[in-house]
Structure 1
Amino acid sequence: MNQVPGGPVPVSQFPVATSRSLDSWLSDQNVNADPREISTRLQWVAFARAADISVGAAMLSLGITAIAIGFFWGAAAGSIVPMIVFGIVAVLLVLLGLLLIHRARSRWPNERRSRVIRGAGTARGGWFAAGGIWLVFAVILLSTLPSLASREEGIVIGLVGIVVCMAFLLVSGLAIPATVLARARQSLRRVASTDLKYRTMLEQDRLTWHPQFGDQMYGPL
């Protein structure tokens, strides 16, 4: 980078954010971007936004899980009370999930909040992890069905319910967050092209952001 004589020494060796337009920074394809290896400012924005959205998406999925738990619990116990209780819990989780998703999609990520991304770095990895854990769990648990078949019907229903609900929980905790994070960059490009308010925030960030360390770079996404 050329330095202006007598001017301040640049902190970073990379091009400044204002050296290119926002569309130029966004259009560059970086196929190796991984949420566990964030290297540019735009990638941080994309993955921080996706991480916040994934929390809301997981809440929505947990709402469906609560419905399944209430159904199987009520069927096993022969009572409607668990269905009502978990139905209320499901509604609250869905409403909370929708609120979190709306906030994450419309607001700038909180830079003071620490986000630790663990687990699978790809959507396929998340689904394989969830499926593998569930398969082992289901085989072990369902292997006891023959010995329980002669007992009360509620025990069998409860056992099947545990297997089904475990699948929902694994999808909520592993597969859905991994899928949302895997689409972080595509999601940011889409919102930049369709949401004028968010694009304005991105433009403002491009004009005002400055690196704090020598290895920081604004883009590409």
Structure 2
Amino acid sequence: MAVTELSPEIVNCFRIHYYGESSAGKDDSADIQSQGYRFAKRLKIDQRLTQVSLYKGTCKIIGFRPNGIRVSILIRKNEQSKILVIRAEGNQYQLCEMEVVIKEMSDVPLTKAWTGRISVSISGLLSEKLSDDKAQSVIKEALKGIHARPIEGIQNHELTSLSAYSSKLPIHLRTNGRKMNVQIALHSDDSSSYFHVGSPIIIDSY
């Protein structure tokens, strides 16, 4: 995924988020727990470090991969379907493993019963407060690095934010009828600037 091409020098964390739904299969607690354990095994969660919670049709598993990346798995029964939420979080030292985790998370719901989407976000820190012109320059370089063209955005003294589209990414959403699959945001305080890139969207608030 092209969003991983950002320089690791400014990255301090990344998050990978999968959300899926299924209306197939059993809905009992034993089946939901079994699915949770199968997904944990495929994602190579270290069982010695795993927390498991089971409650009324909900299974939640939290653990770590051998490289230290934290992974949480939630399967919950709704009235007419089950939902699956997988979240992986790592730091700049684990960035080299990010592509592997994305691939494995994409492969976890192997059956056609699950339909869902992965979103990826990277956050970073620049050790200076950027002027509006410098912020535009940083975003321009980021767009160039991920082969994306801007669609729409806003800029004021506190925040620069835009949506963009890259044909190199397989998934896209639509905003005002136009394709988009990249979001970039940059905001500053008195001494630092915070950088966020997400595909197709930024997962967390910024």
Q: What is the TM-score normalised by the length of structure 2?
A: 0.23
Structure with higher Rg: it is: 1
Bigger relative contact order (CA 8 A; separation at least 6): 1
Q: What is the TM-score normalised by the length of structure 1?
A: 0.22
Could you say which structure has the higher strand fraction?
2
